[in-house]
Structures are given as C-alpha cells and as structure tokens.
Structure 1
Amino acid sequence: MRLRTVLASLTAGLAAAASLTAAGPAHATGARADSACSPTVSLDHFSDALDKTTYDGTFVGNFSALALDTDGSLAALSDRSSLFRLDARTLAPASVVPLADESGAALDSEGLVVDADGTRLITSETEPSIRRYGADGRILDRLPVPAPLLVAPAGRATANQTFEGLTLLPGGRTLLASMEYALSGDSAGIVRLQTWERHRGRFRLAAQYAYRTDPGLGVPEIQALPDGRLLVLERGFTAGVGNTVRLYLADPRHATDTSAVENLTGGSGVRLVGKTLLTDLVTCPSQGATAKQPQPNPLLDNIEGMVVTGYAKGRLKVLLVSDDNQNAVQTTRFYDLRVRVRPLARFVAAG
C-alpha cells in the first residue's frame, strides 16, 4: 500500500477544532509555569469534572476513546456500549446513544472514528470487530477482519487484547486499527496495525504493519496526524505501583507490510514502524491532582482515549481521557496537552 498526502491536508474534524478555546475545559486546573512533561510535551490542564457522574440515567465514565464530531463537539466512547456527546469547552454531556451488535448484545467498545459524513466507526474487542453506525446508533455496515486477528480459537488473538485504537488517516481514504497486544506466535511486544482502504464507499482490507511496544506495555490508542505520522499511547499497570503511560510519535513510512507474515519474530526480517518517545507522563507536574490508589505520579490513571484537537506547524493540542472502569479507586480524568513535533513537508508511506 502507498499513502500520499501533504502537510496542508487537514481533516474536517481538525478544521472544526480550530475554534476550540485554548483555555481548556471548565473545572480544570489553571495553567501553570511548571507545566513541562518533557522538552516537547506540556500539560496545560486536567479535569475531574465528570468523575462518578451520571447523565440521562447513564453512568458517565468507562471512556475508551475520543473523537471530534462534525459539529465541533466531542464524541466520547464508553466501553459499556454508550456514545456520549460532550461540550468541547465544558465537557458537559449533551446526549448519549446506546450501542449494540446485530443481535442487540452489548459491545466491548474501544476505538472510535467520526467519519466526514457523521457516521461512527467503532471497534469492539469481543471478536474483534469494526462496525459503522449512524448518529442514532443504528448499524450501517461491518468491516472485514483478517482471520489471524480474531480471538482464539477462531484466530490467534487473546480476549480483551485486540482492537483498541482506531484512526482515519489524512484524506479519509485509509482506516487504521491497532491491536493492544501481540498475537499468539508473534514476539511479545510486537503489535499489528491493520489498515483498510475505502473503495466506492466501502472499506476493504489493505496493508498491515508491526509496531514494538516497550516491555510490558500495550497500545490503548493511536491517532493520525495531518502529515500521516501517528501518535501512539502505550500503557501498562502494575498492582501496588500504578500506571505507566507513554506518548510516542510513530512513523510508518518505511515499515514492512506484514499482512502475509505468519509469525512476527526477531528473525522475520520485518522492518517495524519507527517510533520516538515524546514523553513518559510520569514526568508531568501533578498540578494538585490526587490519586485514589498507588500511582508513581498522582496525576496518572488508566489513560485510554486520545484525540488531536488542533494542529499548526508541528504544534498539537491533544486531549487524553482515563477509563475509570466504574471503579471507586479509579478516576475519569481529562488531560489537555500541548505537543511539539518536527513538521514534515510531505508524507509517503510504502509497504
């Protein structure tokens, strides 16, 4: 597969986001001079405003993904089969839509993309699957999934370790989903990134790439930048210690198409997606945050969702959210980051 775009090609969602205030959501901490997490990442604000709240009889939390909607609001996906619309300034819920599979059963909904026409592409870890939904929660379509990526015994994936991240590449033609952990038979820490190409309104299976996580970490989210590179969240949890959350810039330009490679091992001759550490969030200033369980930094929690809300000349605004698992010792927390990356004038990826 070959992907071409220019830096000036922005998604409709990012264009809509240009009007978002730099002040961040209400109920957030004020900006502080000691906001630097690393030379390239700063924490502007965090907000616990939605922690342990309800809206229209639905628990607000369990957030696994964020996306910009076509009207500039935030779409927030709960892994308990609910899709919320949030005010982009205040985070206040404005609506909630229940989700289900074709038989009416609940999803383990993890990844979210809002397409240019307002339809929602949503992953479920159960099979795994990707379905297209209307804004009203009605199923419109279901995408094919390669057999090896299915949960065993149908495939080689492990339950609850499949499609977590989902993103649409610039131009809207290529969809990319990230597995959270390795398949059986692949080396530990090597996760597969599967793509689909849009053809006459339908997504068809396309190239696949391999990405190596840091030891013990998985990939809960991935987001495309307007130049075709990827922001990748890596996350892990150690009981009694807490969470590890790292943000990487990944570059798939020279990665091998691994769709025909049965086992990804050290000797497979595969060129992995390149990555550069932007920050380990443990280094961010806590800014008065508190944790309900042991954490190496009280700011940290089970961060799982990410969306780019603004982009200009290598300067990003990135919003993260944690999944509280509806658990008393975890917090639904939003993080407003500023991220700097070196701009690319042109992006070409070949596999």
Structure 2
Amino acid sequence: MRLRTVLATLTAGLAAATCLTGLTAGPAAADTPTDHACSPSVSLDRFTDGLDKTTYEGTFVGNLSALAVDRHGELAALSDRSSLFTLNRRTLRPTSVVQLADENGAALDSEGLVVDRDGTRLVTSETEPSVRRYSRDGRILDRLPVPDSLMVAPAGRATANQTFEGLTLLPGGRTLLASMEYALSGDTPGIVRFQTWQRTPGGHFRPAAQYAYRTDDGLGVPEVQATPDGRLLVLERGFTAGVGNTVRLYLADPRHATDTGGIRNLTGQPGVRPIHKTLLTDLAACPSLGATAKQPQPNPLLDNIEGMTITGRDARGRLRVLLVSDDNQNAVQTTRFYYLRVRT
C-alpha cells in the first residue's frame, strides 16, 4: 500500500551471503542468538540503505513492496509502480528490470510476489484486486479468479488501496495464499481475510479456503510468508504522524482456523476460530546499529517496511529473513533492507 503521508522458493545460496560488496550497511552480527537481539526469537544481523534513491537503466529503484527468491538463488524485488527487478544475491545490485502491466497495458499497484517452481511470477495488484501470472519477461500468462466479496466496492466489499498486500506459496507448492491488508466493509475492523487457492491438475489455481486473521489495533498486514513447516510469518504495520512506524513480526498458524469463505460478516461470532498468532518481535526493540531516520521514528532503524522473504536457514536452524521498506519515492523515507534471523 502506498502510504503517501510519509510513508517462495527457499535457497541456500542467498542464505550464504554474508556481505554486501559496495553497499553501505550496518555491522554484521556474529552467529549467536544474543548478538543484536530484538527479542528471544529474533535478531538483526545488519541493514543496508545502499539502494536508496538510486536508478537502474532509467528506472527508479524504490517503492519496493515485495521480495522473493527465485530458483536460481537470485532475488526478485517488486515495486508497486509495476517494476520487477532482479537483484544480485550478494550485492543487492539490480541486474535486470521488467515493466509489468494489466491486460490493457495499464500500470499495476503491485504489492505481492511469488516466484513459482517453473520460474513464473505471481503478482498481486491492489487495484481490483487481482493475482496474475507473468513470464520472466513480463508477459501475462494467467489471471486467477478472486471471490466477489474481496473486490473493491462497488463490485465487492473491499476498500481501495487496502486489499491484497501479501502473497506466499505454502510448502509443497499446491496452495497459494494472499493476505488482505485491512478489513472488508461489514467485518469488524482489525479482522482481515486471508484467501487461498489450490493448484489444479492443469497448473491453474482455483479459489479455496479463506481464513480470518486479527491484527493489533490500528495495524494492517503488508506481507505474509510461509515457513517450511506450513506456518506463516506475518508482518503487521502502521503509521502515526509525528511518531512514526509500528512494525511487528508474528508467527501464525492457519492449520486449525475456520474456513470463513461462506461467512458474509466477520464480527467475532462464537465458533469462528481465527488464525492463531504469536508475537516474535516488535522491530522497535531491535538495536538501531547506527541507522538514521529522515522523520520521527520510535527507533531510527524503522521505516515503511512492506516486503519480506525467507532466504534459508543458518547453522543453528534459524530462518534467515530479509525485509525491505517502501520509500514511496519520498525524500523523508528510505529504501532499507534488513537481515534478520528468526527462531520459530
């Protein structure tokens, strides 16, 4: 989501990256659970602002809303202005860029990204909302059906610019999951819907179960990422003028949640089990590692964090998680990458 005010295939190759040649970054952490701890479950290795306010082949490298690791170990980074970058896995420097569009050639408000097992790109757009499949060179190959209720009003009950933000493929590659950012009209504020699709024998996706997820007060869901055991890492984020961003990382388990696809209004009714979640960390508790902020923040490390991908595991079995902030091409925001280790 563009906050104008100021605001997945795992690979061991990217996990092995331990330096950022040529980029300015915070200091690297030792491979111990306590160094640069944000919480008992999460530590921060380093950050880098090296791509902030840069261009590549005439395209602004920013507005980044999603990350994914492809089958070759390279990093795909999606801009919400329809640019899909490939980044070098070690340096983060762009190596290619493709411009995406809808069937009529119009730009997308692209927010979620999955690199499928065949190398094609699944991309959400908040506009309708939609999920389309693209080839590596940006050709539309397919468009997934979306339940009517999730469409932006008046077609459905969603609010413009508050729809599909996160996208992830569950282990095994058969189930795709997209997270709405905020609640539908008629649902209790703070209860957002996670929509899934099942892969068909022909390789397409059909709508499947839908789940309820309850956010913290005033926060939305900008990103979701499946863990190897079928649970979810969920980012919750908000912004308060004069205060800054709130960014929290949760571990969520959808496996015992109620399918809410047939429930018109989610109002906390008994018998409906939302996705269970456990707080891993509030990123304001992370060490700042020398980071600076261009606007007020609870911690100068924070910015408008929107993208997340799991890049592998470390020697202790912790997930290596890469985050990125969306600078909205705004002078007081920063494109910043964060390297986390997460114990689940």
What's the TM-score bracket when you normalise by the shorter of the two chains? over 0.9
| 1:15 correspondence with 2:11 | yes
Aligned equivalent of 2:343: 340
Q: State how far apart, in whole Å, the 1-side matches of 2:318 and 2:289 are.
A: 22
Match of 1:317 among 315, 320, 323: 320
Q: State how far apart, in whole Å, the 1-side matches of 2:153 and 2:13 are.
A: 40
Q: Do the aligned residues in 2 keep the contact of 1:217 with 1:234 (CA within 8 Å)?
A: yes
Aligned equivalent of 2:309: 307
Gaps in structure 1 of 5+ consecutive residues: 1-10, 342-351
Aligned equivalent of 1:103: 104
Q: Do the aligned residues in 1 keep the contact of 2:111 with 2:125 (CA within 8 Å)?
A: yes
Aligned equivalent of 1:6: none
The residue identity in structure 1 corresponding to 2:18 is A
Q: State how far apart, in whole Å, the 2-side matches of 1:20 and 1:285 are.
A: 23
Q: State how far apart, in whole Å, the 2-side matches of 1:331 and 1:159 are.
A: 25
| Percent of pairs with identical residues | 78
| 1:27 correspondence with 2:28 | no
What does the per-residue CA deviation read over 1:178-217, in whole Å, with 9 as the maximum and x for residues that have no partner? 0000000000100000000001211001000000000000
What does the per-residue CA deviation read over 1:43-64, in whole Å, with 9 as the maximum and x for residues that have no partner? 0000000000000000000000
Q: What pairs up with 1:40-51 in 2 under 5 angstroms?
A: 40-51=41-52
Q: State how far apart, in whole Å, the 1-side matches of 2:13 and 2:231 are.
A: 19
Q: Over aligned residues, Cα RMSD in angstroms? A: 1.4
Q: 1:28 offset after TM fit, Å?
A: 1.6
Q: 1:283 offset after TM fit, Å?
A: 0.3
Q: 1:133 offset after TM fit, Å?
A: 0.2
Aligned equivalent of 1:349: none
Q: Do the aligned residues in 2 keep the contact of 1:16 with 1:71 (CA within 8 Å)?
A: no
For normalisation by structure 1, the TM-score amounts to 0.92
| 1:223 correspondence with 2:225 | yes
What does the per-residue CA deviation read over 1:100-144, in whole Å, with 9 as the maximum and x for residues that have no partner? 000000000000000010100000000000000000000000000
What does the per-residue CA deviation read over 1:84-112, in whole Å, with 9 as the maximum and x for residues that have no partner? 00011110000000000000000000000
Aligned equivalent of 2:84: 83
The residue identity in structure 1 corresponding to 2:268 is G
The residue identity in structure 2 corresponding to 1:107 is L
Q: Do the aligned residues in 2 keep the contact of 1:165 with 1:220 (CA within 8 Å)?
A: yes
| Change beyond 3 A, Cα 1:176–1:120 | same
Q: State how far apart, in whole Å, the 2-side matches of 1:122 and 1:255 are.
A: 25
Aligned equivalent of 1:344: none
Q: Do the aligned residues in 2 keep the contact of 1:46 with 1:334 (CA within 8 Å)?
A: yes
Q: 1:268 offset after TM fit, Å?
A: 4.9
Q: State how far apart, in whole Å, the 2-side matches of 1:314 and 1:276 are.
A: 19
Match of 1:252 among 251, 254, 258: 254
Q: What pairs up with 1:47-126 in 2 under 5 angstroms?
A: 47-126=48-127
What does the per-residue CA deviation read over 1:242-297, in whole Å, with 9 as the maximum and x for residues that have no partner? 00000000011210000001100122531000000000000000010000001010
Q: Do the aligned residues in 2 keep the contact of 1:24 with 1:45 (CA within 8 Å)?
A: no
What does the per-residue CA deviation read over 1:218-240, in whole Å, with 9 as the maximum and x for residues that have no partner? 00000001100000000000000
Q: State how far apart, in whole Å, the 2-side matches of 1:49 and 1:323 are.
A: 14
Q: State how far apart, in whole Å, the 2-side matches of 1:182 and 1:241 are.
A: 24
Aligned equivalent of 1:326: 329
SS in structure 1 at match of 2:141: strand
Q: Do the aligned residues in 2 keep the contact of 1:44 with 1:337 (CA within 8 Å)?
A: yes
Q: What pairs up with 1:108-187 in 2 under 5 angstroms?
A: 108-187=109-188
Q: Do the aligned residues in 2 keep the contact of 1:306 with 1:321 (CA within 8 Å)?
A: yes
Q: State how far apart, in whole Å, the 1-side matches of 2:19 and 2:96 are.
A: 23
Q: Do the aligned residues in 2 keep the contact of 1:221 with 1:304 (CA within 8 Å)?
A: yes
Q: State how far apart, in whole Å, the 2-side matches of 1:45 and 1:276 are.
A: 24
Q: Do the aligned residues in 1 keep the contact of 2:54 with 2:61 (CA within 8 Å)?
A: yes
Q: Do the aligned residues in 1 keep the contact of 2:257 with 2:275 (CA within 8 Å)?
A: yes
Task: Give the number of aligned pairs.
Answer: 330
| Change beyond 3 A, Cα 1:224–1:181 | same
Q: State how far apart, in whole Å, the 2-side matches of 1:89 and 1:64 are.
A: 20
The residue identity in structure 2 corresponding to 1:135 is R
Aligned equivalent of 1:262: 264
Q: 1:18 offset after TM fit, Å?
A: 6.0
Q: State how far apart, in whole Å, the 2-side matches of 1:198 and 1:222 are.
A: 19
SS in structure 2 at match of 1:148: helix
SS in structure 1 at match of 2:328: coil
Q: 1:16 offset after TM fit, Å?
A: 4.6
The residue identity in structure 1 corresponding to 2:137 is D
Q: State how far apart, in whole Å, the 1-side matches of 2:85 and 2:236 are.
A: 24
SS in structure 1 at match of 2:193: strand
Q: State how far apart, in whole Å, the 1-side matches of 2:271 and 2:196 are.
A: 21
Q: 1:158 offset after TM fit, Å?
A: 0.2
Q: Do the aligned residues in 2 keep the contact of 1:20 with 1:88 (CA within 8 Å)?
A: no
